[in-house]
Amino acid sequence: MEYAWIGIGSNLLNPKKQVDQAIQALSQLPKTEFISCSKYYRSRPLGYHKQPDFLNTIVILYTDLRPELLLDYMQEIENQQGRVRKFATCCNSYPRTLDLDILLFGQYRICTPKLVIPHYDMMNREFIMYPLAELDQKLVLPNGKCIADIIRGFPKKGLTIWDN
């Protein structure tokens, strides 16, 4: 069993409803226990700004699923909630009903064409780093750095608590 930290984001078709449904679906995965959820955050879109703000949160799961199988389940949840996959660069996002990402999976480091863990750009994303710190100030990332040290002085870039 391993702890998996899952990032959830939405900015289309009632983001709060999309995220709530995703959390419900994640909590029902086989061989998996739902542990915790951060507050809901509002973040500005990356790159292309002519779109609504994103609702972001992070959940912690305790799972016996392999990372690749967990990813398959997550992509099925995205598909069921109307996710349309488009190409996006690390600095440019597009609107979406739901985005689920495995941010961390224990202390695993995975780099395959299908899956990269830790998340490839998490160290640059306030909507990942602040919820991680909220959930566990003592969290040590696979690079050996403590989340509490990382977010000291980390820019919020407009990140706020979701109030809708």
Tens place of pLDDT per residue across the chain (164 aa): 999 999 999 999 899 999 999 999 999 999 999 999 999 999 998 776 688 999 999 999 999 999 999 999 999 999 999 877 665 555 556 788 899 999 999 999 999 999 999 999 999 999 999 999 999 999 999 999 999 999 998 999 999 999 86
* 72 carries an active-site annotation: no
Which residue in the list 99, 121, 152, 163 is annotated as catalytic?
Answer: 99
Which residue in the list 101, 109, 136, 149 is annotated as catalytic?
Answer: 101
Rounded to two decimals, the pTM is 0.92
* 152 carries an active-site annotation: no
The burial of 130, by beta-carbon neighbours within 10 Å (0-12 exposed, 13-18 middle, 19 or more buried), is given as: buried
- In this structure, which amino acid lies at residue 97? T
Owner of token pair 């016996």: 64
* 149 carries an active-site annotation: no
Domain boundaries, the chain: 2-161
How many of the other CB atoms lie within 10 Å of CB of 37?
19
Owner of token pair 């990140």: 159
Distance CA 29, CA 33 (A): 8
Spell out the CATH class of 2-161: alpha beta
Sign of the Cα torsion 10, 11, 13, 15 reads: positive
Show the DSSP H helices in 14-162 as ranges.
Answer: 15-27, 67-80, 126-135, 147-151
